Every structure is written in C-alpha cells, then in structure tokens.
Amino acid sequence: MYEAVLTLKCSRPELVKQSMEPDIKNDETVETTLNVKNDALEIVIKSKKLNYLKAVINSCISTVNMLEEVDKIE
C-alpha cells in the first residue's frame, strides 16, 4: 500500500475541507481522509496502486488551489 500525507496551508482550511468532502470517494483501491490542523488542511491518501495515488494527489492539490483562488475573489 502506498501512502501520501499532504499538508496544505489555507486561509480557511475548515471551509476547504467542507467543500472537498462531497467529492471524496473511498473504495477498495483508494482511501482519502481530510483533517484540519491549525491553519492547514492535512490530506492523507492511501492507495494500492501508485498511479491512483498520483492522480488523487494532483486532484487534491488542484482543488485546493482553485478553492483558494475563489476565496480571494469574494
């Protein structure tokens, strides 16, 4: 099993977590958990396949970046 832990600083990590939760799909191949720690969002991704892990990492980083940009506009 492959695992990655991302700690991404956010202006409003709780809001980012709430926004991402509906899109998190866990199954027998990939498991993702979101945690708020101080001013950061911690994303723990576990996967049986390395290419799935990479895809979820890229998706999470892109989503957090997009949500941060949207927050700047408001």
Question: Burial code of 49-67, b = ≥16 C-beta within 10 A, e = fewer?
Answer: eeeebeebbeebeeebeeb
Q: Residue ranges of the domains in the chain?
A: 2-73
Per-residue pLDDT of the chain (74 residues; tens, 9 = 90+): 999 999 999 999 999 999 999 989 899 999 999 999 999 999 999 999 999 999 999 999 999 999 998 877 75
pTM: 0.89
Fold of 2-73: TATA-Binding Protein (3.30.310)
pLDDT digits (tens, 9 = 90+) for 21-34: 998 989 999 999 99
